[in-house]
Amino acid sequence: MTNDCVVVINAYPHFTKNENSIESIRAAAKRWGADFVEINNLIENGENIFRKLFFTRCRTLLKLSNYTRVLMIDNDIIVNSKTPNIFDELEDYELAGVLDGNPSRFPENYIKETIVRVLINNFDYECLSDVLEFDRTKHFQKFLNIGVLLLDISKISEKLRDFMYIVKSNQTILSSLETNTGDQNLLNVFSSHILTQVKILDDKWNWTMPDVAGKNGWFHDHFHPETGELIRWWENSESPPDWTDHILKGKMHPYIYHFCGTPTSKDIIKTYDKW
């Protein structure tokens, strides 16, 4: 057995498993010399999605405590076949991840200041005031997209177990967990307030919303399909064209595409073959 493991969380009933995505992740794990594990813990009727996801993620990590480093990854991910070993990025940190909204890609942190701030505001953080000194500003500044998380299990297991106990013992926190993306909010509380050694990775390690296009009212930078040049929409004098298909026809340049954020993304990932 190796010291590293890549674990995929298959939980969503509308997107339980995608062979194209799984194939790219499994191939990456093999290149990196890591074990590959799939967790199939589907959301059943009547269950709260975000409560189930939070405890599924946490319990999965604790069950993998025989490994040193674990990459926990969602199943709406495509990993570039030329991606270097992501485990080398963890170094001596407890956890590594990419800031949600890829703020370095957008002027004035557009996505983070809109979508991510809404996600945070939807969560009742007052329920945490009795158990830790919660700092909303720090939480927002360090808010990660948990679709790609790299963790040193040997360093975080006891802290995670204690944090789970706090959550399970407080009915108010449990109720807040049931809000939209409650699992992401609570795991970010863990990373920003419990852990002390967190590394922020470059956006290319979790390039979110690669299918976003101007025609839907969104603006998105893109890679030129022939030259691979990164073109940012605000650098053009004219309005950006419809890149929904165009940006996905060229070679894949980021290390990891995360097909989240739009209804069409789950369809695109099924046939995306540029990795």
- The structure tokens listed for 126 are 């007052």
Q: What share of the chain is helix, strand, coil (3-state, %, to 5)?
A: 40, 15, 40
* pLDDT tens, residue by residue, 93-102: 999 999 987 7
Question: Higher model confidence: residue 249 or residue 45?
Answer: 45
* pLDDT tens, residue by residue, 118-168: 666 666 667 776 667 777 778 778 889 999 999 999 999 999 999 999 888
DSSP 8-state assignment for residue 143:
P
The angle that helices 49-63 and 182-189 make with each other, rounded to 10 degrees, is 40
Residue % of the chain over a pLDDT of 70: 65
Examine the fold and report which residue of 182, 206, 230 is the final residue of a domain before the chain moves on: 206
Query: What is the band of 241 on the pLDDT scale with cuts at 50, 70, 90?
Result: very low
Note down the domain range covering 242.
214-253
Query: What is the band of 4 on the pLDDT scale with cuts at 50, 70, 90?
Result: very high
Taking a C-beta distance cutoff of 8 angstroms, is the pair 36, 30 a contact? Answer: yes
Q: Are residues 166 and 218 in the same domain?
A: no
Q: Are residues 64 and 167 in the same domain?
A: yes
Beta bridge partners of 73: 8, 148
Q: Are residues 235 and 176 in the same domain?
A: no
Question: Higher model confidence: residue 210 or residue 147?
Answer: 147
Residue % of the chain over a pLDDT of 90: 33
Q: Are residues 129 and 242 in the same domain?
A: no
CATH of the domain at 84: 3.90.550
Q: Are residues 136 and 87 in the same domain?
A: yes
**Length of the chain in terms of residues written:** 275
Taking a C-beta distance cutoff of 8 angstroms, is the pair 89, 201 a contact? Answer: yes
**Average confidence score pLDDT of the chain:** 78
Q: Are residues 37 and 58 in the same domain?
A: yes
Taking a C-beta distance cutoff of 8 angstroms, is the pair 21, 76 a contact? Answer: yes
Give me Rg for the CA atoms of the chain: 18
Has residue 239 got a pLDDT over 50? no
Q: Are residues 90 and 109 in the same domain?
A: yes
Has residue 237 got a pLDDT over 50? no
Residue 261 domain-assigned? no
Residue 271 domain-assigned? no
Residue 272 domain-assigned? no
Question: Higher model confidence: residue 257 or residue 275?
Answer: 257
pLDDT for position 89: 97
Residue 12 domain-assigned? yes
pLDDT for position 50: 82
pLDDT for position 217: 39
pLDDT for position 261: 65
Question: Higher model confidence: residue 2 or residue 259?
Answer: 259
Residue 179 domain-assigned? yes
Residue 265 domain-assigned? no
Question: Higher model confidence: residue 52 or residue 36?
Answer: 36
Q: Are residues 235 and 148 in the same domain?
A: no
* pLDDT tens, residue by residue, 63-86: 999 999 999 999 888 898 989 999
Question: Per the structure, how many domains does the chain have?
Answer: 2
Taking a C-beta distance cutoff of 8 angstroms, is the pair 19, 25 a contact? Answer: no
Q: Where is 189: in which H helix or E strand?
A: helix 182-189
Could you tell me the pTM of the whole model? 0.82
| Lowest mean per-residue pLDDT among 13-27, 64-78, 147-161, 221-235 | 221-235
Q: Are residues 72 and 178 in the same domain?
A: yes
Q: Are residues 138 and 243 in the same domain?
A: no
Q: Are residues 202 and 219 in the same domain?
A: no
Q: Are residues 64 and 171 in the same domain?
A: yes
